[in-house]
Chain A
Amino acid sequence: MFEEVGTTTEGDIIINVGPQHPATHGVLHLVITLNGETIKKVEPHLGYIHRSIEKMCESLSYRQFIYVTSRMDYLSSHINNHACALCVEKGLQVEVPPRAQVIRVLMDELTRIASHELWWGAMAMDLGAFTPFFHAFRERESINDIMEETCGARLTMNYMVPGGVMQDLHPNFQKKVKEFMQLYKRKIHEYDELVTGNIIFQNRMKNVGYLSAEDAVSYGCSGPAARGSGVSCDIRKIYPYEIYDKLEFDEVLETGGDSFARYMVRIREMQQSIRIIEQLIDNIPEGDFQAKTKAVLKLPKGEFYTRVETARGELGVYIVSEGGTTPYRIKFRSPGFSNLSVLDHIARGSKLGDLVAMMGTLDLVIPDIDR
């Protein structure tokens, strides 16, 4: 175990945060150099949950490896599966039936809401407010119930397969989603009343962790972390996949660049997801939920890359195929890794207490970073 504690020759204090620390949302290890209470340097140490998923995928077939990717960014497991399924479909040149496309988008957006709600509760808990956690989980559980009926799982869904989705929607799906949306619209103002408008919360979030648009681009940030700085990077808009180009929704952009801007992006993004679901829930086309594919998939020789927008940012899947039944090499471009790399930059010069707020708004999922 790498560890350094003590003081440097200049009199700065070095402290460790993690790997077991409630604010790191997993097992991230930060070595922080402090001058008094001011942060001079933050050095993240990774690998405490490195499960070698990329290497594992090389020995799994194209149907099997998708299941492992649910465990990568488990808060948006549908979207991870989606990205992998899209990449395999690109190689196979399979046309996904319209019903499957709509189901996929519906599931993605429900996952996005569930992920942002957990982020909202967990981030408020990091800042010392415990009640939002219970409010967030109240809505999240109703999404989990919807998922469970159709996919059979609450967290690691494994629902998307190459060619479509694994099985048809549960008969209750539409009814349950409409109930959820009614509940959500009734409760959404509580989020603002509890947290967003709170003066203590605003003081802790505004002008903290400033990230300029240039830095967001040069560090490769994506998702709400970059959109909080005004960088337009929503893959659903700029490289639309499935039916996102036919849907009406706004790319949420904030120009503040501070923690509060990143917070507001996610809050507003949940409303956009609701908007997408509203457009689709009554218009699910009839037909097959899965295209006919061979039992054993073989991708032609070549390289394939797809990207999707997860709840955290851009997820890229890069498959190198040698024509066999297993990929020769798989690389995942995970949004969390790039978003974590910016932490040192935005934390320098601010106080130690604000670091938790910054990490909260970057919305890090450590198994997604380590893979």
Chain B
Amino acid sequence: MDVKQQTAKSDFPGQIHETPGGGIVLSKLDDVINWARSNSLWPLTFATSCCGIEYMAVAGAKYDFSRFGFEVARATPRQADVIIIAGTIVNKMAPVLKRLYDQMADPKYVIAMGACAISGGPFFYNTYSVVKGADHVIPVDVYVAGCPPRPEALLHALIKLQEKIKSGLTREQIRKDKE
């Protein structure tokens, strides 16, 4: 396949003008940065309960999130870009989650995976210890419904997050625009 055709067909933001001796790309720097960012998001290996197993299944060969640039799961928040809250957050865990989020370097993104991370899920009623939604603790970009969500649902959420980053609509980008 011709190389020029390949770049023209990809989702790279900008126009390619062909000139003798090579092509010239015209684009906004922000768009290029967002495009680059969105295609290599490193998740934090963070799982508190059942959703963690589906998170592992997404890392497995059948669903394989490395196709979308997520394969480098980091164990330390300092190297991670996106935190997937896979599981219930309880009152004792909430400060830890906040701390993990604070330790991540900007830009950072959050996916709330499963009913527990969205609202407390099946533990919404009658419990004294569950935080009713992880967004009480840290801001969330994408919510995935399910108990636990299917791997396809998590993949969909990851792609949605990429779209959000590419369109320049994440929280920290909006904040930057305001300043």
Q: Residues of A at under 8 Å CB distance from B?
A: 1, 19-22, 26-27, 47-52, 55-56, 59-60, 67-68, 71, 74-75, 118, 122, 133-134, 137-138, 140-141, 144, 154-156, 366-367
Of the candidates B47, B61, B147, which one forms a contact with A156 in the assembled complex, judged by CB atoms under 8 Å apart?
A: B147
**List of B residues within 8 angstroms of A75 by Cβ:** 53
Minimal beta-carbon separation of B153 from chain A (angstroms)? 11
Known: A56-B127, A59-B126. A137 touches B56 (CB 8 A): yes
B90 lies within 8 A of A155 (CB): no
A74 lies within 8 A of B48 (CB): no
Of the candidates A1, A67, A74, A134, which one forms a contact with B96 in the assembled complex, judged by CB atoms under 8 Å apart?
A: A1
Minimal beta-carbon separation of A30 from chain B (angstroms)? 14
Known contacts A51-B88, A52-B128, A137-B62; 15 further A-B pairs (Cβ under 8 A)? A19-B93, A19-B96, A26-B47, A27-B93, A48-B93, A50-B129, A51-B123, A52-B123, A52-B127, A52-B129, A74-B50, A138-B62, A141-B57, A155-B53, A155-B54
**List of B residues within 8 angstroms of A19 by Cβ:** 93, 96
Binary contact readout B104-144 vs A (1 if CB under 8 angstroms, 0 otherwise) = 00000000000000000011011111100000000000000
B122 lies within 8 A of A49 (CB): no
**List of A residues within 8 angstroms of B53 by Cβ:** 74-75, 118, 155
Known: A22-B75, A52-B129, A52-B130. A71 touches B49 (CB 8 A): yes
Of the candidates A22, A47, A50, which one forms a contact with B45 in the assembled complex, judged by CB atoms under 8 Å apart?
A: A22
**List of A residues within 8 angstroms of B44 by Cβ:** 20
Q: Residues of B at under 8 Å CB distance from A?
A: 44-50, 52-54, 56-57, 59-62, 75, 77, 87-88, 90, 92-93, 95-96, 99-100, 122-123, 125-130, 147-148, 150
Main secondary structure of the interface of B (DSSP, over half): loop
**List of B residues within 8 angstroms of A68 by Cβ:** 122-123
Among residues of B, the one whose C-beta sits closest to the C-beta of A367 is B49
B62 lies within 8 A of A141 (CB): yes
B50 lies within 8 A of A155 (CB): yes
Minimal beta-carbon separation of A71 from chain B (angstroms)? 6
A21 lies within 8 A of B75 (CB): yes
What are 15 A-B interface contacts by the 8 Å CB criterion?
A1-B96, A19-B96, A22-B75, A48-B93, A52-B129, A60-B126, A67-B122, A118-B53, A133-B56, A137-B62, A140-B60, A141-B62, A154-B54, A154-B57, A155-B54
